[in-house]
Amino acid sequence: MNEKIVLKVAEARPRDVGRGIGRIDPEIAEKMGLTAGDVILVEGKKKTACLFWPGYPEDIGKGIIRIEGAIRRNAGAGIDDNVTVKKATAKTAERVVLAPLEELRIVGGEEYLSQILEGRVVTKGDVIELNVMGRKIDLAVTKFSPAGEAVIIGDGTNVSVSDKPAKEMEMKIPRITYEDIGGLGDTIKQVREMIELPLKHPELFDKIGVEAPKGVLLHGPPGTGKTLIAKAVANGTNANFFTLSGPEIMSKYYG
């Protein structure tokens, strides 16, 4: 079976973040004839690829695919959105060209990138998130060979980084995802219901004649995750994010 299947996007487990995998409802995966390690295409508003991995026992019958924030962004989809998924074939890449989304110079790092990206599936236009020396950097896939929908970066793949940033692909939304925030599951669920739902499905509020919330006030001591939650919501809804600190409103001086 190699037809497209519509699945609902669910949040990835922390253990799967950074692995470039998508976990699919085991019942549906069996119908699709998928085995662990197969390449799948995930299409929302955009299209990307990742490696299939069996879903968890509790995912059986839910019709979901668990993908991390980076894959959701490349697919142009958010949590609870529907995406189409199909099995695909991908050859080992001979050459992959990456470009930073901001001014960045990587000297002699191609060999290191080849090692940490080995086994990853990429499509043209994908943005790959990497943690290098404690810093998050985004690299866009601009070219690869041989031609195809997707390729796998292998041991012999020549990975190069362009000196010029991919400005046309630059995104002005935060890179924080829900998977980056730990211990605030209940709070995140409430905030998503009050902010994401009205932004993504305003027609629901029109149908029932209820006015959507105009804002949410998060309060708590410094360092408890308030700003992280706001950035994650902006990321999940593809919204612009502007930070204004209290002292900046009252005066140009802190204190």
Q: Which residue in this structure is represented by tokens 């209290």?
A: 246
CATH architecture of 5-88: Beta Barrel (2.40)
pTM, entire model: 0.72
Answer yes or no: are the C-beta atoms of 157 and 95 closer than 8 Å.
yes
- Complete DSSP assignment for the chain: --S-EEEEEEEPPGGGTTS-EEEE-HHHHHHHT--TT-EEEEESSSEEEEEEEEPPGGGTTS-EEEE-HHHHHHHT--TT-EEEEEEE--EEPSEEEEEESSS---SS-HHHHHHHHTT-EE-TT-EEEEEETTEEEEEEEEEEES-SS-EE--TT-EEEE-SS--GGG---S----GGG--S-HHHHHHHHHHHHHHHH-HHHHHHHT-PPP-------STTSSHHHHHHHHHHHTT-------HHHHH-SS--
For 91-169, CATH gives: 3.10.330.10
How would you write the pLDDT of the chain (255 residues) with one tens digit per residue? Answer: 568 899 999 989 989 988 899 999 999 999 999 999 999 999 998 999 999 999 999 999 999 999 998 899 899 888 888 999 999 989 999 999 998 887 766 666 677 788 888 999 999 989 888 876 667 788 889 999 998 889 999 988 999 888 777 765 545 556 777 777 877 888 888 888 788 878 777 787 788 888 877 788 888 888 888 888 888 888 777 777 877 776 666 666 655
Q: CA-CA distance, 24 to 66, in Å (whole number)?
A: 6
* Residue limits of CATH 3.10.330.10 in the chain: 91-169
In terms of Cα–Cα distance, which of 149, 111, 116, 148 is closest to 130? 116
Answer yes or no: are the C-beta atoms of 172 and 101 closer than 8 Å.
no
Peptide bond into 221 cis (omega under 30): no
* Residue limits of CATH 2.40.40.20 in the chain: 5-88
